[in-house]
Homo-oligomer: A and B are copies of this chain.
Amino acid sequence: MSDPIEQVRKRLTEVGGRTAQDLGLGRIVGQILVHLYLTPTEASLEDIAKDLGLSKAAVSIAARQLESLGLLRRSWKSGDRKTYYRTADDIASALHQGLLMLVRNKMGMLATELQQAEAELSPKEAGAEAAFMLSRVKRARKLRDTAMSVLENPVVKLLTRVK
């Protein structure tokens, strides 16, 4: 297995692991996705576990995550009890959608917190301290709104289409 092809696959698989970890998705998720992306045939849970040197359990959990993100497809073969996995066909858009959703969620949380803070400061407190905090919160909200509007901007959405 010191095949040059295997070497490339292994290296890219590691890259996938690191990348996924950066996104808070767990290293294994990325490893599996890249491994399957670079594999022409479908692979069973055990295949994947063996290829990546991981336990079936870990692969099972990660594969589930990947499927829920729309990045993996399960399939079955008649007369074979195993589940087989392959990457989704529209993997690019799934990736795009997934990341967008992730950011949107975070941004939503942020908006909620900032609005609540603003509401609690606005009417009641009148001291200089409160006035200062209110101005800061308002500025933060404007910043967030701008960032969000960029993501949702039709021009940007157009640009993100892969030809």
Contacts and interface: CB of A to CB of B under 8 A. Distances in A.
B5 A121 contact: yes
Interface in A117-163: 117, 120-121, 124-125, 127-130, 132-133, 136-137, 139-140, 142-143, 146-147, 149-150, 153, 155-156, 159-163
A15 B113 contact: yes
A96 B54 CA distance: 38
Interface residues of A, number: 50
A142 B113 contact: no
Identical copies in the complex: 2
Interface of A: 4-5, 7-9, 11-12, 15, 19, 22, 24, 37-38, 40, 92, 95, 106, 109-110, 113-114, 117, 120-121, 124-125, 127-130, 132-133, 136-137, 139-140, 142-143, 146-147, 149-150, 153, 155-156, 159-163
